[in-house]
Chains A and B, each alone.
Chain A
Amino acid sequence: MEQIIFYILVSGILIFSVLTVTSRRILRAAVFLLFMLLCSAGLFFMLDFYFLAAVQLTVYAGGIIVLIIFSIMLTSQVNEKLEAAGVKKSSFSLIAAAAGAVVCIYSILNYSFPAVSNGETDSSMKNIGMQLLSYKDNGYVLPFEVISILLLASMVGAIIIAKRDSAK
């Protein structure tokens, strides 16, 4: 049963990501991206990373997709079709992407990963929060603070960039 759900999620991820990059209607591409992110959140749920899956659902599916859809609404006619990429461009891109994928998959399948250890993951929210704010070994307080400064800077930057020029 678990495996069937897993394969459904994986095929959903693959199908929706292909549709995201090939769909010619931009709003549909955004909705396909949303479904792809939902499927990968389901994958995280299946791996018992509940906090990460919840963050994926709220930040990615809730926040980022809404921002993208807003920018689509503000900048383009929703029912106009995107111009298709030329045959030459798309075939060269396909060759480049396929070559990269083949090289990567070949090296993944030929590398022998160390044996799977069977420790228990303590991915409860309490443990995550303690470790995120700890400054001892395996503590992540420095990147946490850097991320908060980055968020502030990007918020200020976004406001400054999108502000109308009032000087003119």
Chain B
Amino acid sequence: MIEGIQLEFFLVLGTLVFFIGIYGFLTRKNLITMLMSAELILNAVNINFVAFNKYLYPENLEGQFFALFIIAIAATEVAVAVSIIISLYRKIKSIDVEKVNELKY
């Protein structure tokens, strides 16, 4: 752990990044930028897990494993989301969320 830095500092940092991501998710209209806001949210959660692991339970590795799994899930999420975005763009020539109002089935 870093000298002179409290656990609360990390938690406040994680909270701020999380809500910046929420703000982006609410204001953006473009699907790709909404995806980027979701990445910000996931990364904020990672920061929290790592800080808890390091400061409260340094003899275990649980927080690190959860962060690793979150990174893997973020990768799969982005892969599927990018394929959905590309196939949407082929169909309606737009990735604006307000124009995406129909599903195939």
Interface centre among A14, A29, A47 (most CB of B within 10 A): A47
Closest to A96 in B: B26
In the bound complex, residues from chain A placing their C-beta under 8 Å from that of B28 are: 21, 82, 85
Contact A162 B20 (CB under 8 A): no
A44 to chain B, nearest CB (A): 6
Chain B at the A interface: mostly helix, strand, loop or mixed? helix
How far, in angstroms, from A55 to B64 measured CA to CA in the complex? 11
B3 proximal to A (CB < 8 A): yes
Number of interchain pairs (Cβ within 8 Å) = 227
Contacting residues, chain B, for A74 (C-beta < 8 A): 86, 89
Taking residues whose C-beta sits less than 8 angstroms from the other chain, chain A's interface range is 35 or more
Q: Give the interface residue-count category, chain B.
A: 35 or more
Given contacts A36-B40, A47-B51, A97-B20, 14 further A-B contacts (CB under 8 A): A10-B13, A17-B40, A20-B37, A37-B43, A40-B46, A43-B50, A64-B74, A108-B12, A121-B53, A128-B64, A131-B65, A147-B73, A151-B75, A164-B90
In the A-B complex, list the 9 residue pairs whose CB atoms are closest, starting with the nearest: A21-B24, A119-B59, A93-B26, A154-B76, A162-B83, A158-B83, A97-B23, A101-B19, A85-B27
Which residues of A approach B to under 8 Å, CB–CB?
2-3, 6, 10, 13-14, 17-18, 20-22, 26, 29-30, 33, 36-37, 40, 43-44, 46-49, 51-52, 55-56, 59-60, 63-64, 67-68, 70-72, 74-76, 82-83, 85, 89-90, 92-94, 96-98, 100-101, 104-105, 108-109, 113-114, 116-123, 127-128, 131-132, 138, 140, 143, 147, 150-151, 154-155, 157-159, 161-162, 164
